[in-house]
Amino acid sequence: MSEEKLRWEIEKMKLEIEQLRRRFYEQPSFWVSILSFVIALGGVVGQNALSSIRKERAELDREKAAHVRDSINVEVQSLNLRRDSLSRRNESLRAEVIALEAVRANLSQQVESVHQATRLLPLPAKVQEQIKSAGRASYTVAGYCYSVAQAQCQSMQQAIRDRGYTVVRGGPLSRRPSWLAPRSTVLYYDANAAADAQQLAGVLQQQTGVRFEVSQGGGLGVSSGQQRYSLRVHFVGSS
């Protein structure tokens, strides 16, 4: 072996011996291992923490969803109870309407019977008119005004009341609805009410100075049970 090679071998051995003499924590390989361990441990801890956060968030979302679901169920139950209550109330009101319609029809027949029985009697004209007026009380009349002075509208409604009719609703209209007649009109919905509609149109013409036409309506807003004793008045001025 050459001297040069022998010298390098000796130097290598010296370095190895020097490395062995160092404490373990003074060796670079130790700290490399420690650093690798810390990095690996940090990754594991971070992954566990992230997993825990995700789990807690998922649990919170489930609890929130359950709370919302319970609230919706309570609201649905409340709405169902209200619907059932309104349905019972509606049925009750429908039954009352049917009963009242029967009473009104019976009263109208009784008044008509009285009128027929007294028609040929020598009663004063005022008494005869009062009997007729009592018969007209079974009618419900709605009077609407469009493009008409308020005083004229009130005068029309008063003329209807003076004839003995029952005014249920109506009044001035701020805009022209689609169901309003093109001209001043008295609408009836049953052929038996046509004569009364014609007489009312004549009275309104005398009261207002405006010609009222008479026409049979299509029944919009008037139930079949109310058509016999329902009239509608449309007082339409010039736009």
SS (H, E, C) 164-208: CCEEEEEEEECCCCCCCCCCCEEEECCHHHHHHHHHHHHHHHHHH
Distance CA 168, CA 137 (A): 11
Entry field: residues in the chain: 239
Give the chain's end-to-end CA distance (angstroms, integer).
131
User: How far is Cα 156 from Cα 25, in angstroms, rounded to an integer?
Assistant: 113
Q: How far apart are CA 125 and CA 54, in angstroms?
A: 95
Residue where the block lists tokens 């190895």: 16
Report field, pTM of the whole predicted structure over 0.75? no
CATH of domain 139-236: 3.30.70.2390
Helix-strand-coil percent breakdown of the chain, rounded to 5? 65, 15, 20
* pLDDT tens-digit readout, 7-32: 676 666 766 666 655 555 556 665 66
Q: Where are the domains of the chain?
A: 139-236
pLDDT digit string, tens, across residues 186-234: 999 999 999 999 999 999 999 999 999 999 998 887 877 788 889 999 9
177's tokens: 């609805």
For residue 101, what are the contacts with CB-CB under 8 A and spacing of at least 6?
A: 225, 226
Give the model confidence (pLDDT) of 138-160 as tens digits: 888 999 999 999 999 999 999 99
